[in-house]
Amino acid sequence: MLWIPITIGAAALQVARNAAQRSVMGGAGPWGATLVRFLFGLPFATVFAAIAWLATPGASAHPTPWFWLACAAGAALQIAATAALLTAMHRSTFALGTAMQQSGLPFALVWGVLLFGDHVGAWAWIGGLVVTLGLTALSWPRGEVVMRRGAVLAGLGSGAIFALSANCFRQASLAFDPNHHAASALVTVMVVQAIQTVTLTGFLAVKNPAALTAVAAAWRQSLGAGFCGAAASGLWFTAMAMSPVGPVRAVGVVEMPIAALAGRRLFAERLTLVQWVAGAITAIGVVMAAIG
């Protein structure tokens, strides 16, 4: 059960990373802000991997073809999922795109069982579904809902692809060194972020050079986002190496109350009564998934 506190730590660091990325979004745009977590996270990820590897007695490298394939597939799928999410938000609203993305949690359970042979208990399945319902209610937009063609497909697709990328990351960590979860996970983070940095930097250099300039200009804020992002990814990957992705994703939604507290303190945001009730339902699902 060590994966549970590791997941909670990952969620807290992810909130810090998101807050730092939010300050970069204005000048760099969504793709520039996405690059921040990879480009400025890579040096920290490299240091974390080196320290973990040197501090782990008996760690042995197994960079099999399956490891490289899983890293590359997970990196590409995560970028594709981000593109699908941005498309869903553009064709509907930010809130609705976020709500549809919650489909990623049950997809994480399904992909793990169908494609990778994970064993998930009944309570984890039920908890995952309860969490999904709670998150959807929590993030569903109030008032009129406007959706243009392709919004639903893009939104649900983003959830499915994010879930598949997470399962690829789990397989990569298990392939590299299945006996030393933390060291293997941190090496996987380093490789994945290197792939994503090269890919997204090349894309922006061709399509939007101004975004690269904005990212470079915001290097002070970006360093904080990079550190928190690399640390969060290291903990996420470690937790997913120790447990199937579905339960990890379910417990990871403790990010929501952490984010709500951060939003209240940093951005003067408030939650409605309906959101509090939905949050309570989500919390029940988290507990069920954790014990499952």
58 has a pLDDT exceeding 80: yes
Structural domain boundaries, residue 241? 3-291
Least confident of 84-88, 120-124, 164-168, 288-292: 288-292
pLDDT bin (cut points 50, 70, 90) of residue 182 is: very high
3-state SS track over the chain: CCHHHHHHHHHHHHHHHHHHHHHHHHHHHHHHHHHHHHHCHHHHHHHHHHHHHHCCCCCCCCCCHHHHHHHHHHHHHHHHHHHHHHHHHHHCCHHHHHHHHCCHHHHHHHHHHHHHCCCCCHHHHHHHHHHHHHHHHHHCCCCCCCCCCCHHHHHHHHHHHHHHHHHHHHHHHHHHCCCCHHHHHHHHHHHHHHHHHHHHHHHHHHHCHHHHHHHHHCHHHHHHHHHHHHHHHHHHHHHHHHCCHHHHHHHHHHHHHHHHHHHHHHHCCCCCHHHHHHHHHHHHHHHHHHHC
| Tens of pLDDT, residues 32-41 | 878 888 899 9
| Tens of pLDDT, residues 110-148 | 888 888 888 878 888 888 788 778 777 766 666 666 667
191 has a pLDDT exceeding 50: yes
Count of domains observed in the chain: 1
Most confident residue range from 15-24, 152-161, 174-183: 174-183
